[in-house]
């Protein structure tokens, strides 16, 4: 098949960010399909740039986006990509299937247009339950806008040939829109066991990043957005700040990073290090120096449906994991004995668990081994990418291929 894949934030392993779509594309290509990706990139200089990335024909559109943008400017960016990607998609010849992956929800628009005008079927991948996420977070308040967004969401779901969700909660959210469950599949985010693994700690990275060898390190990596609720971590860091043998490592970027850094300066929180945003190889080396991984979100019901990349990369890296969402991730770390759940309203509980793991190194190592085993046997990309491809192969496509 000729597959048109639409993902506004498509990233490769050489870039910072989530790489799920890259690995799915590789599996599709391995199974004989031709893949064209529609995406944006910070580095493109022309309005449209076409390059081949590891066998994927990528069409990069010049659409600026940053987590630092205001809500209004983000909406403009979403609409900009929606319009440009639709125009490009309509010009693509011999497309047999469209795969469109959110967020934002607007990436479903070009798929919807191709379905209506060219009768091309599409698979829609739900990575967050939009518009419910911005509604619960207060980013979408206007009643007319909410009704329009909900109608658009339902239109995408109804017209999709199949819907893939990244967590049981997301699948439930889709089914709650009166979508038949057998029209949906749940394929969670992926562990990358060949990219993140436990090995000898790098002396080079210790020196390059000026990281102490003598501390117990709790690492948070990935997006630093409002939804991630990272003030909770700073509250815990402040409570534990006089304990010189414990520090917090932040890797990544996002809209709240400057606020978090300013808070550390103002409140004299000295046991927190902001090290920046790294490509996968360096990120993996840095996480390998740390002892426990933190996966946090604001205490909102919709965020408990999340399927965070950092969780699955932490499994691969063989780290014990602390989560604060009372959803399926809580069940995962508790049932598989690879970490702990902490109350999202009690930073003190977080400090207690971190101290406990520091004082029980053999237990911490055992939790890490359980994490790695879970990554290898259940969540590795080699397993889940094939599940994705099997879903594509199982579709009863109306269009002859």
| Distance of alpha carbon 210 from alpha carbon 213, whole angstroms | 9
Class in CATH terms, 2-190+380-394: alpha beta
Decide if pLDDT at 67 tops 70: no
Q: What is the pLDDT of residues 206-238, one digit of tens each?
A: 999 999 999 999 999 999 999 999 999 999 999
Percent of the chain with pLDDT over 70: 97
- The arithmetic mean of pLDDT across residues 132-160, rounded, is 90
231-239 and 257-266 are packed helices; what angle lies between their axes, rounded to 10 degrees? 20
**Beta carbons of 118 and 23 less than 8 angstroms apart:** no
Domain 203-378, architecture per CATH: 3-Layer(aba) Sandwich (3.40)
Q: Global pTM?
A: 0.91
> Among 40, 21, 15, which residue's Cα sits nearest to residue 277?
15
Question: Which residue ranges does the chain devote to CATH 3.40.50.2000?
Answer: 2-190+380-394, 203-378
pLDDT score recorded for residue 401: 40
Quote the Cα angle for 37-277-355, to 5°.
125
pLDDT digits (tens, 9 = 90+) for 328-373: 999 999 999 999 999 999 999 999 999 999 999 999 999 999 999 9
Largest distance between two CA atoms of the chain: 67
Which residues pair with residue 396 across a beta bridge? Answer: none
- pLDDT-derived band at 121 (thresholds 50, 70, 90) equals very high
What pLDDT, on a 0 to 100 scale, did the predictor assign at position 16?
75
Of 186-195, 227-236, 389-398, which range is least confident? 389-398
Q: How does pLDDT run across 261-314, given as a tens digit for each residue?
A: 999 999 999 999 999 999 889 999 999 999 999 999 999 989 999 999 999 999
What totals of helices (H) and strands (E) does the chain contain, helices first? 15, 14
Look at residue 400 and tell me whether its pLDDT is greater than 50.
no
Mean pLDDT over 43-56 rounds to: 89
Cβ contacts of 317 within 8 Å, gap of 6 or more? 196, 197, 198, 284, 287, 288, 293, 371, 372
Could you tell me which residues are beta bridge partners of residue 247? 217
Q: So what's the pLDDT on residue 15?
A: 85
Average pLDDT, the chain: 93
In order of 24, 205, 234, 330, 340, the CA distances from 192 in angstroms are 12, 21, 29, 21, 22
Sign (positive or negative) of CA dihedral 297, 300, 304, 309:
negative
User: Binning pLDDT at 50, 70 and 90, where does residue 21 land?
Assistant: very high
What pLDDT, on a 0 to 100 scale, did the predictor assign at position 398? Answer: 54
Assess whether pLDDT exceeds 90 at residue 205: yes
Report the Cα 238 to chain-centroid distance in Å: 28
Band of pLDDT at residue 76, cut at 50, 70 and 90: confident
Distance CA 396, CA 259 (A): 50
**Residue carrying structure tokens 């103002």:** 266
- What is the C-alpha separation between 63 and 10, in angstroms, rounded? 13
Question: Which residues make beta-bridge pairs with 186?
Answer: 165
């Amino acid at each position: 098949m000729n597959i048109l894949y639409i993902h506004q934030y498509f990233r490769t392993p050489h870039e910072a960010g989530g790489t799920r779509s890259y690995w799915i594309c590789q599996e599709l290509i391995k199974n004989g399909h031709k893949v064209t990706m529609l995406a944006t990139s910070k580095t493109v200089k022309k309005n449209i740039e076409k390059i081949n990335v590891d066998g994927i024909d990528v069409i990069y559109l010049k659409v600026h986006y940053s987590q630092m943008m205001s809500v209004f400017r983000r909406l403009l960016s979403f609409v900009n990509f929606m319009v440009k990607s639709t125009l490009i998609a309509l010009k693509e010849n011999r497309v047999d299937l469209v795969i469109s992956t959110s967020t934002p929800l607007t990436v479903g628009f070009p798929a919807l247009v191709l379905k209506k005008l060219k009768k091309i079927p599409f698979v829609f991948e739900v990575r967050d339950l939009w518009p419910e996420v911005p509604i619960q977070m207060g980013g979408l308040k206007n009643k007319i806008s909410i009704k329009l967004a909900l109608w658009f969401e339902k239109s995408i779901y109804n017209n999709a040939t199949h819907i893939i969700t990244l967590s049981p909660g997301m699948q439930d959210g889709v089914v709650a829109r009166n979508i038949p469950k057998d029209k949906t599949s749940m394929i969670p985010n992926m562990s990358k066991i060949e990219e993140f693994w436990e090995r000898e700690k790098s002396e080079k990275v210790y020196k390059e990043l000026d990281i102490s060898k003598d501390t117990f390190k709790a690492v948070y990596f990935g997006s630093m957005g409002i939804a991630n609720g990272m003030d909770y971590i700073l509250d815990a860091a402040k409570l534990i700040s006089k304990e010189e043998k414990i520090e917090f490592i932040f890797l990544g970027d996002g809209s709240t990073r400057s606020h978090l850094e300013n808070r550390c300066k103002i409140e004299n929180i000295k046991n927190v290090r902001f090290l920046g945003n790294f490509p996968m190889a360096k990120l993996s080396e840095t996480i390998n120096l740390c002892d426990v991984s933190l996966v946090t979100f604001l205490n909102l019901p919709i965020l408990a449906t999340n399927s965070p990349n950092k969780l699955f990369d932490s499994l691969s890296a063989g780290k014990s994991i602390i989560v604060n969402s009372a959803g399926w991730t809580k069940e995962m770390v508790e049932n598989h004995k690879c970490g702990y759940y902490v109350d999202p309203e009690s930073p003190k509980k977080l400090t207690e668990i971190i101290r406990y793991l520091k004082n029980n190194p053999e237990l911490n190592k055992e939790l890490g081994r359980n994490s790695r085993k879970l990554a290898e046997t259940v969540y590795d990309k080699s397993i889940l990418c094939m599940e994705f491809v099997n879903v594509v192969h199982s579709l009863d496509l109306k269009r002859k291929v």
